[in-house]
């Protein structure tokens, strides 16, 4: 299992390979000029911040509040098609 601290120490290329192989996209959002994608990777949350000329991965500690992690993505969730 790849923990957040281990993921942070990987070179960017290895981080990208790990996300491509094991990551699951959970949500996407815009923040200013950044496209932010939230992934789940081995029970850890990882964000990919993509700008015009740079991409950066960031991780959340396991102790991070899950609601706080998802809150910035809630505006992009479309629930209009959901029925009871």
Query: pLDDT tens digits, residue range 34-75?
Result: 999 999 988 889 999 999 999 988 888 778 898 899 899 888
pLDDT score of 82: 60
Q: Cα–chain-centroid distance for residue 30? A: 13
Prediction pTM value = 0.80
Phi, psi (degrees; rounded to nearest 5) at 18: -65, -45
| Mean pLDDT, rounded, for 20-37 | 93
**Does residue 3 register a pLDDT over 80?**
no
The answer to whether the CB of 19 falls within 8 A of the CB of 46 is yes
Asked if 39 contacts 25 with a C-beta cutoff of 8 angstroms, the reply is yes
Confidence at 83, pLDDT banded by 50, 70, 90 = low
């Amino acid at each position: 299992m790849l923990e957040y601290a281990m993921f942070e120490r990987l070179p960017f290329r290895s981080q990208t390979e790990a996300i491509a192989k094991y990551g699951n996209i959970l949500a996407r959002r815009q923040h200013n000029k950044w496209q932010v994608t939230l992934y789940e990777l081995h029970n850890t949350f990882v964000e990919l911040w993509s700008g015009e000329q740079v991409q950066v991965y960031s991780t959340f500690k396991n102790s991070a509040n899950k609601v706080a992690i998802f809150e910035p993505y809630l505006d992009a969730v479309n629930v209009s098609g959901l029925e009871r």
